[in-house]
Homo-oligomer: A and B are copies of this chain.
Amino acid sequence: MKLSKPVAAAAAFLPTCALAQEATPASESSVFLFNSLFLLLAGGAGFFLVAGLAMVEAGLVRARNAGAVAVKVIAAAALASLMFWIVGGGLFYDVEKGGLLGSFALWSAKDVDPVGAGRASAAGFFLQSALVAVAAAIISGALAERVRLVAFLLFTAFYAGLVHPIAASWDWGGGYLEADWKFLDRAGATIIHASAGAAALAGAIIIGPRRGRFPAKRASAPLASNVPLSVVGALIVWLSGLGLVAGSAQPFGAIGDAIGAAGVVVSANLAVSGGVLAAIVMSSMIYKRVDPSLVVNGAIGGLVAISADPISPALWQAALIGAFGGVIVTAGGPLLERLRIDDARGAAPAHLFCGVWGAAVVPWTNADASILGQLVGAGMIAGFSFAMSALLWIAIKYSIGARVSAEDELAGVDQAILGVSAYPEFAEP
């Protein structure tokens, strides 16, 4: 997302723009209003995506942990919003061209040159805040059913305030990766998804698996407690994701922008569709059944894969890129199981693996990007996030403790954290 230059771009790759140029342009005020509204809508879509992830995650864990999962997501969204305002904004927005670190300063709206900027600064900030909240919700899923709430919130504060904005500034802030590597990630495949997926993976490794997850013989996947909730959540991630990707990838101030944004929405929709169907086919072939958690993650994986560059691919390329995301999430789960890493919601396959896939495939459809630049960028972002997160989780583990007690885990973290059950009136069989 190149928020720093929202009104330009988009034109070059659109064959229609020669014609579009001849149209009466929108007035400066209208451009400002369109771009601001589009960013506000995308930010709203981002918070809706957080709600969708809360549904996905609460539905995929066991009933005795479902309440704490939902509370963790809303708490993380709140904390991420606050921390990105207090610390993250300065780090993200104030990075110098080619730089690696912004400033430490409370973010505040600056609209000194509205016409030049082309959109309200707070609208862009709102979208960024939403993206940070999405990242926090992603991490939450992987660590479900054993992480302490206070440990998770402490981690979220650091991740949202420091880790995410620093890494994001390297590209979207105009820093090192953008300036030196022409790294391209328009809608967060790596900056949101691979980064959060790497943080989730680090946490899952250091906190360790849920008790009983890896018995002597073979892994026993815990059952989802509420399949309809998680599938409806996936539908919400899907539709809100379309808005989030469009608002991240495109300004909306000229005819070429609108053509581009509509194209992004259609491409992303086909990518998600491809991801869903690929996951269904893969699951049917391998397991002789349609595993709903794979369907859910197939939709998410398709969305993540197209997020790196939803503009350049032709529609059939978009569908294929998304479909391969669906393949990745199906293959990723068993891989993690073999490594005895317990990622409760499949966050690493859907967000880290698919995010890297999405970044790496950009040169297939976009000559401006290089394989090397994309791998360097994805590697730096995911690697930085993994390393910082691992350090944080180690520090938390050996200070306040990262996971609930064994008894609390067996009884369900809802009782330990909330003091009530998620579904107290529904008896277990």
Which residues of A does B touch, CB under 8 Å?
14, 16, 19-20, 22-30, 32-34, 36-41, 43-44, 47-48, 50-51, 54-55, 58-59, 62-64, 66-67, 69-71, 73-75, 77-79, 81-82, 85, 106-109, 111-115, 119-123, 125-126, 129, 149, 223-229, 231-232, 234-236, 238-239, 242-243, 246, 252-255, 257-259, 261-263, 265-266, 269-270, 272-277, 280, 287-292, 295, 299, 314-316, 319, 414, 417-429
Contacts and interface: CB of A to CB of B under 8 A. Distances in A.
B114 A23 contact: yes
Contact of A74 (B111, B226, B295, B418): B295
Given A48-B239, A78-B277, A427-B427, 10 more contacts: A25-B27, A36-B261, A37-B37, A47-B242, A50-B239, A54-B231, A70-B227, A71-B227, A71-B295, A82-B277
Contacts of A63: 425-426
Given A223-B420, A272-B78, A423-B426, A36 B262 contact: yes
A29 B10 CA distance: 15
A55 B269 contact: no
A26 B420 CA distance: 54
A129 to B, nearest CB: 6
B276 A114 contact: no
Contacts of A32: 23, 255, 258
A141 B255 CA distance: 40
A319 B83 CA distance: 12
